[in-house]
A and B are shown apart, each in its own frame.
Chain A
Amino acid sequence: MMSLNELKEMIEKELGALAFKVDSEAPNLIIINVEAPNLFEVAFKLNHMGFDHVKVVTGTDYPIEKKIELVYHVSSYTNIDLAKVIIALKIRLDKSNPKVKSLVKIWPSAEYLERETYDLVGIIFEDHPKLERLLLPSDWDQIPPLWKDFKIKTEGIDA
């Protein structure tokens, strides 16, 4: 039985200089901040440690900083100790050129999650087996809907 802090230290040791910040947050979250070029290697090492599947891939738009934050939430099925924590692997990408190497080769479970993120947030995953529209109609020609500059209507409380 490993505590959250022990696991955090273990990950820090394993990743070394690849990750620039490792945080832990009770009760079950470890946040690893990574530079985009190191992402693939970090993912490889995490997979090797036993984190075998991706739960969530999220892209969040930060229009003021002109960045898009990409988060992979990763955990394990096989190792009970690791299954109790979720790892958030965070990368910040430039909004003008949101490109990153796809992690499908390491975690095949990310395939549709990445494809959806491409569809709705507009992040381009290089080496992805099938990077096409998934949820939106194939003739969608506006900006990705989850960007903050994509406005939807709202109504007040008055008729």
Chain B
Amino acid sequence: MVFSITRSLKSFGKFLRRILIRIIEKRPIRDIRDWGISYSLWPAHFTTACCGAEFAAASAPRFDAERFGFLPFTSARQCNVVFIEGTLSRKMAKAARMVFEQMPEPKFVIAMGACPIDGGIFWNSYNIVLAHNILPVDVYIPGCPPRPEAVARSIMMLQDKIKKMGGAKYDELK
């Protein structure tokens, strides 16, 4: 008896969830949701290499990336952006993948600096991994290291991307 009630409640919950997702995916609500996501991008506190110095400068007072709702956060579980700050070595690539998998959907990747894009000056090293080979990169920032302004621009570009094609990212949710 109790068993059948819980089962029917469960299936009702599933049904409700499906309806809710359908409503959220509809135009006005979807736009509000995407707007919300685009202004609450929290990168995981995950420094892969030396670009972290400029990333720190970007979140420091002078360039203050927090104006975009961009707040570096400690735990990967509460984050939705992984910022590849410089070279990915083979050891670090495993960690990057792990951090990315720990994050909840929807999640985004920004590759900062020449090294994760195409190796930069280290392109012929035996120990580096390119970011796009292991992660779905959304925005690339060239430069070695990129200026904090470029970091701010990449955040703006990611916000634009989320607003324009946000829904496409959440196929897994359905």
Contacts and interface: CB of A to CB of B under 8 A. Distances in A.
B124 interface: yes
Contact of A153 (B90, B91, B124, B127): B124
B125 A136 contact: no
Contact of A137 (B91, B124, B125): B91
Interface in B102-128: 124-127
Contacts of A150: 126
B127 A136 contact: yes
Contact size range, A: under 10
Nearest to A154: B124
Contacts of A136: 127
Contacts of A37: none
Given A137-B90, A137-B91, A152 B125 contact: yes
Contact of A152 (B90, B91, B126): B126
Contacts of A153: 124
Residues of B contacting A: mostly: loop
Interface residues of B, number: 6
A145 interface: yes
Nearest to A153: B124
Contacts, number: 12
A150 B127 CA distance: 13
A145 B90 CA distance: 14
B124 A145 contact: no
Q: For A137, A150, A152, A155, which residue has the most chain B Cβ atoms within 10 angstroms?
A: A137
Nearest to A145: B126
A134 to B, nearest CB: 11
B107 to A, nearest CB: 26
Q: For B124, B125, B126, B127, which residue has the most chain A Cβ atoms within 10 angstroms?
A: B126
B124 to A, nearest CB: 5
Contacts of A154: 124
A154 B127 CA distance: 15
A153 B124 CA distance: 6
A159 to B, nearest CB: 14
Contacts of B127: 136-137
List the 10 closest A-B pairs by CB distance, nearest first: A152-B124, A137-B90, A153-B124, A137-B91, A145-B126, A152-B126, A154-B124, A152-B125, A136-B127, A150-B126
12 contacts: A136-B127, A137-B90, A137-B91, A137-B127, A145-B126, A150-B126, A152-B124, A152-B125, A152-B126, A153-B124, A154-B124, A155-B124
